Structure 1
Amino acid sequence: MGFLIWVCLFLSLQAKPSLSDSALFSNELNEIPKYFLNQTQKSDVFDWMVSIRRKLHENPELGFEEFETSRVIREELDKLGIRYKYPVAITGILGFIGTGKPPFVALRADMDALPIQELVEWEHKSKVPGKMHACGHDAHVAMLLGAARILQEHKNKIKGTVVLVFQPGEEGYMGAKKMIEAGALENVEAIFALHVNSELPVGQVSCRAGPLLAGSGFFQAVINGKGGHAAIPHHSVDPILAASNVIVSLQHIVSREADPLDSQVVTVGKFQGGGAFNVIPDSVTIGGTFRALLKSSFVRLRQRIEEVITSQAAVQRCTATVDFFDNEKVNPPTINDEKLHEFFSRVAADMLGSSNVKEAMPLTGSEDFAFYQEYPKTSDDSIRRGLKALGANFRPKRQHR
């Protein structure tokens, strides 16, 4: 029912000509969710969405390779009579429903799969070796198409324009940045996204104001020493020992320097060096990720990681260089707008009942929806508000590698 949440949110927003607080919180709009909940109790809508989701699940595509996925989406938009722009950022699509005039509100779904082998044996298992929709983006696309179908059926009720953002390359490819550069947020005043969450029972949603997902970055360090025979280590400068001390010291940043209530993560997941049992190598490469829910903490983590790596390497008579992949692999924290969160909660409660609308806990996972929230805005601070929520989906037996 995630798609229905967005239908009601959008029609509620557009029942007024602007995104003023009075429009966001008008009591006269509380019947809209109930109306559309009744309207969408149709097997043809649900079965249609399931068929799309399964088709996409069987044919997963990685970031910026979503040509077949994009074709399926465009085919459905054509059937629904929804105008769209393609290509946007290689495989992305922008759909438009409504008057073509302000206010513009965007609904976003990511499209790409992951380089993972699906092991579950079921009828709609991935047909592509080494690729799988393990993060639910197939469901996101199906839900946004479901929202598009219902919105299109009621387009005459829309006072404004809904922008359907089908985004490629979320999984580490910074697809949101590419979509923004291609004009996805032109005139857009608010943007919403929903991510499936198998931890929630079916029929529940969760969200929170403020930080929801962590900012994330990656680092790689090359620690240089002097190679030699393992039997005479005093003639060498051991980069393996230096790298080991670096890794231990990196863990002290969070445990000894960070406020325990300010969630931060530093994890080293890569250690490469040496090729023989009895040889000290010239260099070692380590790499990992760092994450924080607050921007200030994220910036400080990066600074301290570089300081710790270079300093600890020097203690062991080594040198080190650190690469943070600035232009490729950094996601800011996802920080939800407070007023949109309150509005979302009210609409969701009207639809699902207040007991089924949960306060989400912050997560140290990350995603590039944050770029939409940070996009440069006009002098009006209400422009480009953003909100990401979590919604229940089926509880799969997830087996993959």
Structure 2
Amino acid sequence: MAINNFWIFSLTFQLLLLLHVSSESSWITDDASRRPSKFLEYAKSPEVFDWMVGIRRKLHENPELGFEEFETSKLIRSELDLMGVKYKYPVAVTGVVGYVGTGEPPFVALRADMDALPMQEDVEWEHKSKVPGKMHACGHDGHVAMLLGAAKILKEHHQDLQGTVVLIFQPAEEVFAGAKKMIEAGALKHVEAIFGIHLTNQVPLGKTASRAGSLLAGSGFFEAVITGKGGHAAIPHHTIDPVIAASSVVLSLQHLVSRETDPLDSKVVTVSKLHGGNAFNVIPDSITIGGTLRAFSGFSQLQERIKEVITKQATVNRCNASVNLKPNGKEPVPPTVNNMNLYKQFKNLVRDLLGEDSFVEVSPIMGGEDFSYFAEAIPGHFSFLGMQDETKSYASPHSSLYTVNEDALPYGAAIHASMAVRYLEDKASKGSDSPKDEL
């Protein structure tokens, strides 16, 4: 009888233990599934939302161009200090790289660009740019605020992190050089994947847009000086007219897409600048032209053809031509290609966070982004966060009337943080090959 009682007691104890573990496991799973919505609630709280808006407005009032973001990075470092987030500075002149989590593998990165554009703001409001000829006209001030918001969320929940989140505040995206410099400076050391978010007025507030594979085109610029021999317009036979040569060049460049490119392979060559002469009756000595090229494939070949067309058309018209494929130091960038697995993770995450209709499958876009350098070095995913609403009209990027819908900031912060946490959980469950190292 005593033996039977013992076995009954033992079985009862084991059953209770199993029920407790099962209940605890269910609670953990439920908590993990609710985490993204909790992050969004936290980001939308008045305290955090107002703080992000304040940061964005400070940056907007004081825009800085590429590799000149000293006050911008100072503000970022000040906020990271207040959070207790470790960071490295300077990285690529003005860049900042922060670290939240265990300090051990796996490592996943989140990126925000922080430079402004050399243009005058035409929006009259309380926080208009205080710097003449400089403006945050592409949302980078909002990108910084969102990544700092993500840093705050992640720091508040650092005990949940199963690895390390690397926060990359990148300079000089607009001149297509910052990402490359950050990589050269070691910003991606041990990082296995990277995510980037860009605000857009083409998608409604609370929705995101992306695609697998090629999202943004390879992008570059060209500038050429076509030199002839100037003289009086009444005696053109005594001159070598660079205007005629430049005209032939512009028309011939259009054939590179219309006659030499597969119609199913999207490419763009646009001549957007033509300068020369200052009198009605004088043929100038030279003409300067410039423009941009975009392509998802065959980018370097297109560059060479542009150079060849310019120089040979100039020769046909008895002129000389010099071609610069990096005018004003503007680096060409490769296409931005989203990793398939990261795309699937992102798509599932935003649907969990914002609902089934929150994700928009976008067509390839001919714009360029130097995030492509990160996505070339390691698996990467770039997406767009909507900010359009039905009551206001938001201008397109690089417009002097550009504004940011600040209601989008909590969405960006929550998506950043949630994506990083989910990636680390997935990697931890599968194991990571990243070596341990001092940050």
Bin the TM-score by the shorter chain: 0.7 to 0.9
Moved more, 27-36 or 300-309: 27-36
CA distance in 1, matches of 2:226, 2:75: 48
* CA shift in 2, pair 1:47/1:314, >3 Å: same
3-state SS, counterpart of residue 141 of structure 1? helix
3-state SS, counterpart of residue 199 of structure 1? strand
Q: Are positions 1:118 and 2:124 aligned together?
A: no
Q: Are positions 1:96 and 2:99 aligned together?
A: yes
- Of the three residues 365, 368, 372, the one matched with 2:367 is 365
Q: For residue 388 of structure 1, what is the aligned residue in structure 2?
A: 382
Q: For residue 19 of structure 1, what is the aligned residue in structure 2?
A: none
Q: Are positions 1:208 and 2:211 aligned together?
A: yes
Q: Deviations over 1:368-400 (max 9, x none)?
A: 11111223xxxxxxxx20110000125565462
Asked if 2 retains the 8 angstrom alpha-carbon contact of 1:165 and 1:184, the reply is: yes
State which structure, 1 or 2, has the greater radius of gyration over its C-alpha atoms.
Answer: 2
- Of the three residues 157, 163, 168, the one matched with 1:165 is 168
Cα distance, 1:246 vs structure 2: 0.7
3-state SS, counterpart of residue 194 of structure 2? strand
Asked if 1 retains the 8 angstrom alpha-carbon contact of 2:223 and 2:288, the reply is: yes
Q: For residue 330 of structure 1, what is the aligned residue in structure 2?
A: 332
After superposition, where does 1:224-263 map in structure 2 within 5 Å?
224-263=227-266
Asked if 2 retains the 8 angstrom alpha-carbon contact of 1:207 and 1:360, the reply is: yes
Cα distance, 1:311 vs structure 2: 2.3
Cα distance, 1:278 vs structure 2: 2.1
Q: Deviations over 1:222-281 (max 9, x none)?
A: 222222322221222211101101101111211222223322111112212223322222
Tell me which protein shows more helix as a share of its residues.
2
Asked if 2 retains the 8 angstrom alpha-carbon contact of 1:331 and 1:368, the reply is: yes
Q: Deviations over 1:327-359 (max 9, x none)?
A: 742111111111100110000111111211001
* CA shift in 2, pair 1:157/1:397, >3 Å: closer
Asked if 2 retains the 8 angstrom alpha-carbon contact of 1:106 and 1:163, the reply is: yes
Q: For residue 353 of structure 1, what is the aligned residue in structure 2?
A: 355
Asked if 1 retains the 8 angstrom alpha-carbon contact of 2:176 and 2:333, the reply is: no
Q: For residue 379 of structure 1, what is the aligned residue in structure 2?
A: none
* CA shift in 2, pair 1:27/1:283, >3 Å: farther
Moved more, 390-399 or 106-115: 390-399
- Of the three residues 41, 44, 52, the one matched with 2:55 is 52
Q: Deviations over 1:104-137 (max 9, x none)?
A: 1000001111111111111111111111111000
Cα distance, 1:89 vs structure 2: 1.4
Cα distance, 1:183 vs structure 2: 1.0
Moved more, 305-314 or 184-193: 305-314
3-state SS, counterpart of residue 204 of structure 2? coil
CA distance in 1, matches of 2:30, 2:192: 22
- Percent identity over the alignment is 60
CA RMSD in angstroms comes to 2.0
* CA shift in 2, pair 1:108/1:229, >3 Å: same
Unaligned runs of 5+ in 1: 1-25, 376-383
Moved more, 316-325 or 52-61: 316-325
Moved more, 52-61 or 30-39: 30-39
Asked if 2 retains the 8 angstrom alpha-carbon contact of 1:332 and 1:370, the reply is: yes
3-state SS, counterpart of residue 131 of structure 1? coil
Q: TM-score, normalised by structure 2?
A: 0.79
Q: Number of aligned residue pairs: give it.
A: 366
Cα distance, 1:151 vs structure 2: 0.4
Asked if 2 retains the 8 angstrom alpha-carbon contact of 1:30 and 1:347, the reply is: no
* CA shift in 2, pair 1:237/1:81, >3 Å: same
Q: TM-score, normalised by structure 1?
A: 0.86
Moved more, 132-141 or 249-258: 249-258
* CA shift in 2, pair 1:246/1:102, >3 Å: same
Moved more, 262-271 or 36-45: 36-45
Q: For residue 320 of structure 2, what is the aligned residue in structure 1?
A: 319
Moved more, 220-229 or 328-337: 220-229
Q: For residue 109 of structure 1, what is the aligned residue in structure 2?
A: 112
Asked if 2 retains the 8 angstrom alpha-carbon contact of 1:83 and 1:95, the reply is: yes
CA distance in 2, matches of 1:189, 1:34: 26
Cα distance, 1:28 vs structure 2: 10
Q: For residue 128 of structure 1, what is the aligned residue in structure 2?
A: 131
CA distance in 2, matches of 1:180, 1:357: 30
Q: Deviations over 1:2-22 (max 9, x none)?
A: xxxxxxxxxxxxxxxxxxxxx
Cα distance, 1:36 vs structure 2: 2.8
CA distance in 2, matches of 1:34, 1:261: 41
CA distance in 2, matches of 1:288, 1:40: 42
CA distance in 2, matches of 1:39, 1:291: 40
3-state SS, counterpart of residue 63 of structure 1? coil
CA distance in 2, matches of 1:27, 1:301: 53
Q: For residue 413 of structure 2, what is the aligned residue in structure 1?
A: none
3-state SS, counterpart of residue 373 of structure 2? helix
Unaligned runs of 5+ in 2: 1-28, 402-439
CA distance in 1, matches of 2:393, 2:78: 28
* CA shift in 2, pair 1:397/1:125, >3 Å: farther
